[in-house]
């Protein structure tokens, strides 16, 4: 009877899990108690189930902060994760610059999301990788070890097996993977410099990252060098090469904006669409790493895409 009535409220048709809080458990918030009982699910997912009414406490809909103690009966109607249907092969176009039995180097076009996520569960690079390389279904995240923003073009490496993935992740953690980006920035940045400022979520605008009072900041280091300067639409601009030590979300974009030189076309961080820039002018141009298979070091360079090249042609370069 309970399941029939609850199904009318939007619960899953699957049989619910009925859990009893053990006698030795300490009274705590419902989401924390549930996270301890169902460790295979993230706490944020469990909170979502509670808020949507998919968790009952002694037969009544629970609340996230509700105190729950020993002996309480929790009825949990598990819901499919949004990403459950995301990891499917799809014919997504992208260019492969090189591959071995252990890795694939991709030149990602601007506009392509790297990995499924909220609002982008299909049509991602991951879907395309699964279509072109079906064996990647056996590797976590289809072998993806680092990402590029949707509107950032350029190079990233994908592991073809778990051993190679572990090796590449450790290289990233040890900061031995070389990643160099080409950027078009506003103003006249110094000839060279380093931005060493922690990056975290912007407290006021959730889609932005910030270096000014960020939430949960993480260390972030970007080295940059000004390659040449010019003028477009009467405003000074520069071609800059950025080298990452760390790989935080939006790192180059927020670091360059933080020193007063946002990227052309990067409206989220104050950049202007000078020279016809239709996106942030950022391209992952060079990538180098140690071959997980034991071969010599591997390096690649991706040509500047047409849209950045066209903007560069609009700039009157001075040096």
Which residues are catalytically annotated? 149
Long-range CB pairs of 5-12, under 8 A, 24+ apart, other chains included:
6/56, 6/77, 9/53, 10/52, 10/53, 11/53, 11/54, 11/77, 12/54, 12/77, 12/78, 12/79, 12/80
The angle formed by the CA atoms of residues 9, 13 and 17, to the nearest 5 degrees, is 95
8-state DSSP, 211: S
Tokens for 253?
Answer: 């974009």
What's the start-to-end Cα distance of the chain, in Å?
A: 78
The phi, psi pair for 308, rounded to 5°, reads -70, -40
The angle formed by the CA atoms of residues 11, 13 and 17, to the nearest 5 degrees, is 75
Cα distances (angstroms) measured from residue 12 to each of 71, 79, 149, 176, 262: 25, 6, 35, 47, 47
Tokens for 282?
Answer: 């950022």
């Amino acid at each position: 009877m309970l399941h029939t009535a609850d199904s009318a409220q939007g619960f899953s048709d699957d049989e619910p899990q009925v859990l009893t809080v053990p006698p030795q458990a300490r009274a705590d918030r419902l989401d924390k108690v549930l996270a301890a009982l169902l460790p295979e699910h993230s706490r944020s997912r469990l909170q979502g189930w509670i808020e949507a009414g998919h968790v009952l406490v002694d037969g009544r809909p629970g609340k996230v902060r509700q105190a729950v103690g020993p002996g309480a009966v929790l009825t949990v109607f598990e819901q499919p994760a949004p990403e459950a249907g995301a990891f499917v092969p799809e014919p997504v176009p992208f260019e492969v610059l090189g591959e071995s039995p252990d890795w694939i180097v991709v030149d990602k076009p601007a506009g392509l999301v790297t990995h499924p996520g909220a609002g982008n569960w299909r049509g991602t690079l991951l879907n395309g990788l699964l279509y072109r390389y079906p064996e990647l279904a056996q590797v976590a995240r289809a072998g993806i070890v680092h990402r590029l923003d949707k509107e950032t073009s350029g190079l990233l490496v994908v592991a073809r097996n778990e051993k190679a993935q572990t090796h590449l992740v450790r290289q990233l953690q040890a900061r031995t993977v070389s990643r160099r980006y080409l950027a078009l920035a506003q103003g006249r940045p110094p000839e060279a410099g380093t931005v060493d400022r922690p990056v975290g979520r912007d407290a006021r605008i959730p889609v932005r990252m910030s270096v000014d009072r960020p939430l949960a900041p993480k260390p972030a280091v970007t080295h940059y060098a000004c390659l040449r300067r010019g003028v477009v639409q009467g405003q000074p601009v520069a071609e800059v090469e950025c080298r990452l030590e760390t790989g935080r979300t939006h790192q180059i974009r927020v670091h360059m904006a933080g020193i007063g030189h946002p990227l052309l076309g990067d409206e989220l961080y104050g950049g202007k669409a000078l020279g016809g820039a239709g996106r942030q002018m950022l391209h992952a141009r060079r990538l180098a790493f140690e071959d997980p298979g034991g071969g010599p070091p591997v390096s690649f360079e991706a040509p500047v895409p047409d849209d950045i090249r066209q903007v560069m042609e609009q700039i009157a370069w001075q040096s």
